[in-house]
Amino acid sequence: MASVAAQLPTAVLRRGCHSLHAVDEDNLRYPVVLVHGYAGTDGVWSAARRALRDAGFGHIVCLNYNSFSSDPADVAVELSHRALQAMRATQAPGVHLVGHSLGGLLIRRALADNLTLAGSAATVVTIASPHRGAPLARIAPGRCARVIQPVAAAWPHPDPSVRRARWLAYYTDGDRIVPTTSARLDDAGSRAINVLIPRSGHLTICRDPRLIRSLVHELIRTEAAVPSPSCVVAA
- Please state the length of the chain: 235
Average pLDDT, the chain: 86
Please write the tens of the pLDDT for every residue from 182-197: 999 987 777 899 999 9
- Is the pLDDT reported for residue 87 higher than 70? yes
Q: How confident is the model at residue 2 (pLDDT cuts 50, 70, 90)?
A: very low
Q: Hey, is 82 helix, strand or coil?
A: helix
In this prediction the pTM is 0.87
Q: What is the DSSP letter of 141?
A: -
Q: Between the CA of residue 207 and those of 43, 49, 89, 100, 230, what are the distances in Å? A: 10, 10, 28, 11, 23
Q: What percent of the chain is predicted at pLDDT more than 70?
A: 80
* Overall average pLDDT of the 59-64 stretch: 96
Task: Give me the domains of the chain, ranges plus CATH numbers.
Answer: 2-233 (3.40.50.1820)
Q: What is the DSSP letter of 157?
A: P
Q: How confident is the model at residue 233 (pLDDT cuts 50, 70, 90)?
A: confident
Please write the tens of the pLDDT for every residue from 110-130: 999 999 999 999 999 999 999
Q: How confident is the model at residue 6 (pLDDT cuts 50, 70, 90)?
A: very low
Residues forming beta bridges with residue 26, ordered by sequence position? none
Q: Hey, is 18 helix, strand or coil?
A: strand
Please write the tens of the pLDDT for every residue from 214-231: 999 999 999 998 665 556
> What phi-psi label fits residue 82: left (phi over 0), alpha (psi between -120 and 50 degrees) or beta?
alpha
Stretch among 24-38, 46-60, 101-115 having the lowest mean pLDDT? 24-38
